[in-house]
Chains A and B, each alone.
Chain A
Amino acid sequence: MATVTFDGASRYYAGTERPAVDQLNLEVEDGEFLVLVGPSGCGKSTTLRMLAGLEGVDEGAIRIGEREVTDLPPKDRDIAMVFQNYALYPHMTVADNIGFHLKIKKVPKAERAERVLEAAKLLDLEQYLDRKPAKLSGGQRQRVAMGRAIVRSPQVFCMDEPLSNLDAKLRVQTRTQIASLQRRLGVTTIYVTHDQTEAMTMGDRVAVLKDGLLQQCDTPIGLFGKPKNLFVAGFIGSPAMNLIPATINGEGAVIGGQSIDLTPAQRSALTGSNVVVGIRPEGWILKPAGEGISATVEVVEELGSDQFLYCSTSAPQLATDDDAGEEAAAPPPITVRAPGMSAFQRGEKVGLVPQPGAVHLFDADSGERLPD
């Protein structure tokens, strides 16, 4: 077990100008579960593969504990990896798959069998030890891949979207199993996913990447409560935060006729006269029509425990990059959370008032969060 340090690590792919991973500085503590999350192509998998030695490091350095591993081959890094497609050895039984590292390291046969059995017990795989991977279900294969990693007691676990090939129900189950297994074993773990729910539920800390750049690395609560910029604000949280452009008028930012006060610190940090107001779906107070920002309910999404109302308002949301390609006729609606089983109807007029303390403010030009 050890810390992992990325020290200005960069990776350039041939034929592209922008680095896949750009000057990454990241410190993972001993025994920590760090999740790398971001949209596809953000460099999260490349980062993991650089740590594992499967991808070269063009600039900077990577250290595991005090040991510099930047130029070491994968076999000498003492890292175990769980791949997205599991990458089990198809010609070996489950037992041989799990025990392969021990065999390569010439661990005596008796000890090997014992450790394989121990890992198999932990993962509920005892009755499958003699089977070949082709005879296993997706979930079982996933557990064999986990077994292959934990039997080694490595310094670091690397996991590259290990749950993405499982069905929704099994994914949630396995999510908790992996998280609790990691806490029990206490092995430093770096976990890559594009699923922000996975990131928020599993990680001690979550690092958000975009275009090869680290946007923010914080605890799930930190990311959720104080997103550092517009990208993190929009990426973390489901449904996403409402991001509404506003202009500064006197002491406050005005959206839909509602003024939101700015603190002196916020005002002095502003670079222009525009801000973006971020309010999560649960950050609104629903009022009768006529109070606050007037809105019309367009769609009601009933989840049982919660209800999400998608409302059109006089204060339309910021169009995100994703929407740019689509017909930009209708601005994205504002999402509001209401208690489950509420009686809201499509077409109903309501009033929206931001909850005090639930408002995030971002500089519209730089996209950075304004100080509180």
Chain B
Amino acid sequence: MRELATEPSPSTSGVLDPPKTEAGTGNAATPRKRDRKRWGLTVVGSVVALVFLAPYLIMLSGAFKSRQEILKVPPEYLPGDWKFDNFVNMWGTPETPLPDNLLSTVVISLGGTLLALLAALPAAYYTARHSFRLKLPFMLLVLITQMLQPTVLASGLFREFVSLEINDTWLAMILVNAAFNLSFAVWIMHSFFATVPKEIEEAAWLDGCSRGQSMRRIMLPLVWPGIVTAIIFTFIACWNEFAASLILLPTDTNQPLTVALTRFIGQYESAWQYVFAISIIGILPVVALFAMIEKHLVSGLTAGGVK
């Protein structure tokens, strides 16, 4: 960088001598300062990343240790004996039917996300496009559901599901998860629909589109980042949901991974190696999903505000 900065000085020498030397030193200092700043940011970033990653690294290392090694004092960073079969054995432990639990998590998450989206999409479109009396109170009411914790609602929900005869079923948890995440989905998609000028949709109608066609061909592609954002956040919330499942799903084959995980932590002994291994299986889809849509998500979150 410094070489680059001094290069032009011979060509201009003799024309503007005093300013040239000043400019020369200035040019040389700027890249050095910039370099130093970049290094500083890298170091700070690495430290912050390490702080956040440390629990995951311990989890990863623990998943490959034996039970004895995990409880060893002082602990070791890496497993002495890599126990890869933790990932095989955990599926057949007496504590919980893990394959059923995984299936349960997948079904409840997919079902909850789909239902939340199907309900939120029309609501978001309507509230963004039409003004009606009590629109603001309605939107705030939607938001208020966010304030109610699952633990507050659980006993009421339990009684309701008993009377509906869907107690202890996936359907009940799909309904609960969809309801919990509806308000976020409505609000985020509402803001995206609101950024699309009304005239674009009107142009589509005049171009011969029915309402459905203009929705499918024009509106949905334009609010796609918002939909993706809603899908991801809802899916992750459903995947991680714990409290309501713990209360509403007593049967072990119906329980999701989050609840199943707790069965490995006993009063007298805990199978930490399985807890770690299951946790890794549990977070993999979420991490993969995030990695896949990261670009969409960032552009989505900014597009909503800027346009």
Contacts and interface: CB of A to CB of B under 8 A. Distances in A.
Interface of A: 52-54, 73-75, 77, 79-81, 83-85, 87-91, 100-101, 104-105, 148, 152
A340 B204 CA distance: 50
A101 B207 CA distance: 5
Interface string B196-212: 01011011111111100
Interface string B210-235: 10010001100110000000000000
Contact of B206 (A79, A85, A88, A89): A79
Given A89-B218, A90-B222, A91-B221, A74 B205 contact: yes
30 contacts: A52-B202, A52-B206, A54-B202, A54-B205, A54-B206, A74-B205, A75-B205, A75-B209, A75-B210, A77-B206, A81-B203, A83-B203, A84-B199, A85-B197, A85-B199, A88-B200, A89-B200, A89-B203, A89-B204, A90-B200, A90-B222, A91-B221, A91-B222, A100-B204, A101-B207, A101-B208, A104-B207, A104-B209, A148-B203, A148-B207
Contacts of B203: 81, 83, 87-89, 148
Nearest to B131: A14
Interface of B: 197, 199-200, 202-210, 213, 217-218, 221-222
A186 to B, nearest CB: 20
Contacts of B207: 75, 80, 100-101, 104, 148, 152
Nearest to B202: A54
A73 B204 CA distance: 12
Nearest to B199: A87
A75 B208 contact: yes
Could you tell me the dominant secondary structure of chain A's interface residues?
A: loop
A74 B222 contact: no
A54 B204 CA distance: 11
A73 B206 CA distance: 9
A104 B213 CA distance: 9
Contacts of A89: 200, 203-204, 218
A294 B239 CA distance: 89
Contacts of B205: 53-54, 73-75
A75 B218 CA distance: 15
Contacts of A80: 206-207
A53 B202 CA distance: 9
B218 A74 contact: no
Contacts of B202: 52, 54, 74, 81, 83, 87
Nearest to A77: B206
Given A84-B199, A87-B202, A88-B203, 8 more contacts: A54-B205, A74-B205, A74-B206, A75-B210, A87-B203, A88-B200, A89-B200, A100-B204
Contacts of B221: 91
Contact of A87 (B200, B208, B210, B217): B200
A88 B200 CA distance: 6
B208 A104 contact: yes
Contacts of A74: 202, 205-206
Nearest to B196: A90
In the A-B complex, the 5 residue pairs with the closest CB atoms: A87-B199, A74-B205, A87-B203, A101-B207, A104-B208
Contacts of B208: 75, 101, 104-105
Contacts of A105: 208
A90 B203 CA distance: 12
